Amino acid sequence: MPDLIIVESPTKAKTIKGFLGKDYKVESSFGHVRDLPKSKLGVDVENNFAPSYEVPTKAKKRVSELKALAKKADIVYFATDEDREGEAISWHLQELLNIPVEKQRRIAFHEITKKAILNALENPRKLDDNLVDAQQARRVLDRLVGYKLSPLLWKKVTKGLSAGRVQSAALRLIVEREEERNNFKKEEYWTVEGEAAKDKPNFKISLWQKDNKSISKFDLDEKLANQAVTDIKPAKLIINKVDAKEHTKSPLAPFTTSTLQQEANRRFGYSAKQTMMVAQQLYEGLSLGEKGNAGLITYMRTDSKNLSAEFVSDALDYVKNKLGEKYIVAGGRTFKKKSKLAQEAHEAIRPTDVQLVPEEIKEHLDSKQFKVYQLIWQRAVASQMSDAITETTSVGIEAKDTIWTLKTVGTVTKFAGWRAVYQSNGEDNELPTLAIGDELELKTLDALQHFTSPPAQYSEAGLVKEMEKLGIGRPSTYAPTIATLVSRQYVDKVDKRLAPTEIAIIVIKLLVEHFSDIVDYNFTAEMEDDLDRIADGKKTWQPIIKEFYEPFIANLEKKEKELDKKKITETATDEKCEKCDSPMVIKLGRFGKFLACSNYPDCKSTKPINEKGEIEEPETTDEKCETCGADMMFKHGRFGKFLACSNYPKCKTTKQVNKEVGIKCTKCDKGQMVEKRSKRGKTFFSCDQYPKCEHAVWTKPTGEFCPECKQLLLFAAKDKVKCEECDFTKDQE
């Protein structure tokens, strides 16, 4: 019987099979094989927090199959990912399969390549109990918080809510940013801007000085700005200062989990969850045609900035051969790590083989895989290249016989260096050759009114960056944390920004006031550090859980008695109930506020209210209910307006209201595209002839059609428009 290798993923198993001969059988566990039960706490708080694991129903068959295979094999290799979660999966497998110690081997690797797999098989190790303990501690801690605190939120706020150690701290960041925005007082300011020319092309200019003194942001009002424009327009513009300075900029470090998620979000609009799904595919392996299956990147859950000596050498050789000696740094570069304690992996995210150039394997990747792989490849290679050299020229422009001086700043790349491979965003103000005494031609000049802006709501990139800065969570937790906040309706995505819902604001206020530790940033970060210390063998996990749990449960029991749901979720009004004349109160439900009779449950009268707290009167329609024949009426729910039977609650028929977008379907040529909501609340656009036509897209159509394939053009990230079918893209107009 061949030796057995067990991995988590069938894709990973398929890739590894391609590297090995008949002496090995590679099988997948299909993820986790054992976990805490869903129906109960599963942690014995009276017995040193011992976890009680069980095999989920969906995994039982697979566990039985693996047991049979393991029994026949001479050696069983556990080849799960080399991080805490992967180590824990291997430990659970060992516990379940009842394999004699002498038959067990633990192997680990950071890339799925033939060389890495063969090297791992030649150098097996024992299971790392410290990593297993760290994962158990995290699982137990999060279970205690979730299963103890969430029921309190159900009782004191509304059903369906959840709380979590990392989740709630991240949500607090989003809510506090919203409070900053609401408290922001905008201020008016003015600028004077335009364009000038010596030769073509034009370049940008702006007002700089008054009476040779620099103008600060709030020095100009409307009158003074317009006076400056009036004075400058007829004046001669003479250059009186040219100051050129050379700058060098070193390349950025190769990607960590956090920086990859941030950059993919900024460049492509991908969520952290999307980025990690694509990176997982690249790591586990894809078919490259005649080359077979290959893992394209190293392990993608890491906070390390290190690169292997072999990769550095290969990258330097590649750059030298393609671009020349001056583009490399002899010996390569190293980057300082920011994390204080143990790393979860030894390397940054990099391509497994620098010779797998993105453009050369593009035909084997889908669009998302190509974009993420290209980003990783370029960033890793560029990290080993020479500095970019730019020259920044600052030019003073005197408006003759006035009190005003203008300015222009231009940047010219003198040597691309690492930017020859990895392009950063931004555009330069290109300047012609300018010298003191040159006269410029004024093309345009305007006084422009501005207002200071509140801090922007967090994008996913911004939230991940802030979580990393504060030590909230670790590389493996960023994406699932944000996904949970969205799925639980704590935040809405509005123009790719994270906006807290009303229920989120209420929950965070309650947690800050009554469970401050749970959402305290320093506490959350220190707990993460303790988990790192457990992984490093410097601490034992049970005392850390005990230190947290005892005061937490005592406070929880106290708050269960003290907190009054009505004070948290209800607001008195002057409105009277139409059915029983009792006062109406504003109540908070899971999906927002509504008016309800204070005589509940004897009277169950309710009324919808809008965002301003105003009553929304029922809006009837001519449409009849297909179930009972009563009139249908418009109502508002968490996903906006919908049709409901006026005979509710006797008849609960509802119907979605489809919002037309005024665009014809390009697939059936009969229907119109309409805006809809998925079961999970995500907006999409589909043909109104469904199910006859199943044409649907996740991004809003622009109303234009692709010049190449005639399909819909869709709004995309970074002010771009893309075709739904082919690779055509263009800037938004």
Q: Could you read off the pLDDT of 574-616 as tens digits, one per residue?
A: 899 988 999 999 887 766 788 899 998 899 888 877 766 677 6
**Residue 632 pLDDT > 80:** yes
Residues 177, 457 contacting (CB under 8 angstroms): yes
The DSSP letter of residue 630 is P
pLDDT of residue 637: 61
pLDDT of residue 655: 79
The DSSP letter of residue 461 is H
**Residue 421 pLDDT > 70:** yes
**Residue 433 pLDDT > 80:** yes
35-83 pLDDT, tens digit per residue, is 999 989 999 999 999 999 999 999 999 999 999 999 999 999 999 998 8
Strands 43-44 and 24-28: unpaired
Q: CA torsion 575→577→581→586, rounded to 10°?
A: -50
**Residue 414 pLDDT > 50:** yes
Q: How far is CA 228 from CA 190, 254, 520, 541, in A?
A: 11, 48, 51, 68
Strands 50-51 and 43-44: antiparallel
What count of other Cβ atoms lies within 10 Å of the Cβ of residue 612?
A: 5
The residues annotated as belonging to the active site are 299
Q: Where does residue 53 rank: exposed (0-12), middle (13-18), buried (19+ CB within 10 A)?
A: middle
pLDDT of residue 106: 96
Mean pLDDT for 361-377 is 96
**Residue 197 pLDDT > 50:** yes
Identify the band that residue 359 occupies on the pLDDT scale cut at 50, 70 and 90. very high
Q: What are residue 214's DSSP bridge partners?
A: 209
Mean pLDDT for 340-357 is 78
Q: CA torsion 437→441→444→448, rounded to 10°?
A: 10
Helices (H) then strands (E): counts for the chain: 19, 33
Q: What is the rounded CA–CA span in Å between residue 25 and residue 300?
A: 26
228-270 pLDDT, tens digit per residue, is 999 999 999 999 999 999 999 999 999 999 999 999 999 999 9
Identify the band that residue 275 occupies on the pLDDT scale cut at 50, 70 and 90. very high
Average pLDDT of the chain?
90
Q: 714 by DSSP, 3-state: which?
A: strand
Residues 380, 348 contacting (CB under 8 angstroms): yes
pLDDT of residue 508: 96
550-559 pLDDT, tens digit per residue, is 999 999 999 9
Residues 602, 589 contacting (CB under 8 angstroms): no
Identify the band that residue 342 occupies on the pLDDT scale cut at 50, 70 and 90. very low
pLDDT of residue 733: 60
Percent of all residues in the chain with a pLDDT value above 90, rounded to a whole number = 69
686-707 pLDDT, tens digit per residue, is 888 888 888 898 888 888 888 8
Identify the band that residue 343 occupies on the pLDDT scale cut at 50, 70 and 90. very low
pTM: 0.79
pLDDT of residue 640: 60
Q: Starting from the edge strand earliest in sequence, which strands make up the sheet with 606-608, in order?
A: 571-576, 583-589, 592-597, 606-608
Q: What is the rounded CA–CA span in Å between residue 481 and residue 632?
A: 40
pLDDT of residue 690: 82
**Residue 680 pLDDT > 80:** no
Lookup: tokens for 282: 């690249």
**Residue 194: what are its φ and ψ, rounded to 5°?**
-175, -160
pLDDT of residue 540: 96
Residues 170, 472 contacting (CB under 8 angstroms): yes
**Residue 344 pLDDT > 50:** no
Mean pLDDT for 610-627 is 76
Q: What is the rounded CA–CA span in Å between residue 445 and residue 442?
A: 8
The full DSSP string for 509-556 is HHHHHH-HHHH-HHHHHHHHHHHHHHHTTSS-HHHHHHHHHHHHHHHH
472-523 pLDDT, tens digit per residue, is 988 889 999 999 999 888 999 887 899 999 899 999 999 999 999 899 999 9
pLDDT of residue 123: 95
